[in-house]
Structure 1
Amino acid sequence: MKPLYSDAGSGIIFNLVGDVVIGNETLPEGVIMLPISRKAENIVLASGAQMSGIRFYPAFGYGILGQHYDKPTLLLPEQDQLYNLYQIYNELRMQKDNEKRIETLHLWADKNLDFTKVIPDSLEKALECIEQGEAPGQLSTNVELSQRQIERIFKLWLGMTPKHYQRILRIKKTIYFLRLHRNANLADVAQQFGFSDQAHMTREFRTIACITPRQV
């Protein structure tokens, strides 16, 4: 069992063999379309289970697949008309070496996925601004859209508000920092990453990462 921390991204799992559980969802063997990650969940793999996967950056999943999923969803073979995912699934099942599987996924992605201009320039700019610490309420000063238009484009492409995306990103950065600095003073860390205080940081961790900062 391992935690899957929220990253605001989505993805595809190729459940090759065995039992896999994410949160409360038991995944059947096959091609599984993943929802946008808004909060952490545990993944449990039974002994002997094998899986491969593709992870999309925030908004890229919608740009490539053209839709969101509310929960892990089995893609039926008759629905697989866009990217021949069951063809790659069958190839992955025949391979026993993980390096070969990674190479196979790379070759498939290079052939089938076009990552140029996947998302609108305005959204890409807004994501960069938040990454650099811009307050979500001030995005309209750097993006040629009104605040209401920015809210709508985030809801469509990411399934969340700019504020929620900022919260996920801040927790993600804080977790990475705490993993590198095990003895860091939590009050100082809270200030460094823009939380109002340590208690605020702890509340945000419990909401989004489902753990406390000390449990990282």
Structure 2
Amino acid sequence: MQGIWLASVSELQSDPVVKPLYTDAGSGILFNLAGDVKIGHEALPQGVIMLPVKKVSENIVLSPGSKIAGIRFHPAIGYGVLGQHFDKPTCLSPAEDEQYHLYQIYAELRMQKDNTGQIDALYRWTENNLSFTNVIPVSLERALKGIEIGEAPGQLNENIQLSQRQIERLFQFWLGMTPKHYQRILRVKKAVSFLRQHKNENLADVAQQFGFSDQAHMTREFRVIACITPGKI
């Protein structure tokens, strides 16, 4: 699990708050507790929202008075825990909530007004209801780690004793994307994180540091995956 989080916008705020959601190939659960919330072009109703694995970044728009909370999963873990992919933010109905009792924690979050209390409640629910032990195949775990440390997708079969075709199928089944696309997302994610901390860094040097062929290549990848140029991070 990447983390448990909470966000809100004061009712005194005059305008909606718009924040980028940079893709990292993960998924999650969002609890829309109050107010109007949009991800991309999707308006989210109040309730339990199942978040998909996104291949490109989108903005989240929070209206004045809105409040949301959530759980974020590492890549492939969401499918391993929940056993289902979603192609867009999807409101879970109470009738579909027999296994994990998400609406119980949703009701508790709405009753609990203190931020610390809400976070504590989410941690307790997660510990009691979700198991993160052996939720994805060892071969996939090794492949994900391999790409994380810089192995090329074409080299993965050398270390995990699967053919390239089998690796492709693993990624498509668990993440809904190819190893190559996962590598692209990860490379852009790392560069975005770096640029947010080093805003005045030379972009040509950043491109070389993170394995882009040149600055123009990095800019193209940012536009496709992060939906922004490196200079605007």
Q: TM-score, normalised by structure 2?
A: 0.92
**Are 2:219 and 1:202 aligned?**
yes
User: Which residue number in structure 2 is paired with residue 142 of structure 1?
Assistant: 159
Q: Secondary structure at the match of 1:67?
A: coil
* Counterpart mapping for 1:1-216 below 5 A: 1-216=18-233
Q: How many Å separate the matches in 2 of 1:22 and 1:92? A: 21
Q: Which amino acid aligns with 2:79?
A: Y
Number of residue pairs aligned between Structure 1 and Structure 2 = 216
Measure the CA separation in 1 of the matches of 2:196 and 2:71.
24
Shift of 1:144: 1.5
In structure 2, how many angstroms separate the alpha carbons of the residues matched to 1:45 and 1:182? 26
Equivalent position amino acid for 1:177 in 2? F
Paired letter, 1:44 = V
Partner SS for 2:156: helix
Shift of 1:183: 1.3
Distance 1:105 1:48 in 2: 21
Q: CA RMSD in A?
A: 0.6
Runs of 4+ in structure 1 off by over 2 angstroms are none
> 1:38 Cα deviation (Å)?
1.2
Which secondary structure does the structure 2 equivalent of 1:142 belong to? helix
C-alpha deviation, 1:170, in angstroms: 0.4
Give the CA deviation at 1:181: 1.3
Unaligned runs of 5+ residues in structure 2 are 1-17
Amino acid at match of 1:100: G
The amino acid that maps onto 1:93 is: R
Q: Percent identity?
A: 69
Quote how far apart the aligned CAs of 1:179 are.
Answer: 1.4
In the TM superposition, residue 100 of structure 1 has moved relative to its aligned partner by 0.9
Give the CA deviation at 1:2. Answer: 0.3
Give 1:45 deviation, angstroms. Answer: 0.6
**What's the CA shift string for 1:123-169, capped at 9, x where partnerless?**
00000000000001111001111100000000000110000000000
Question: Normalising by the residue count of structure 1, what TM-score does the alignment of the two structures yield?
Answer: 0.99
Gaps of 5+ in 1: none
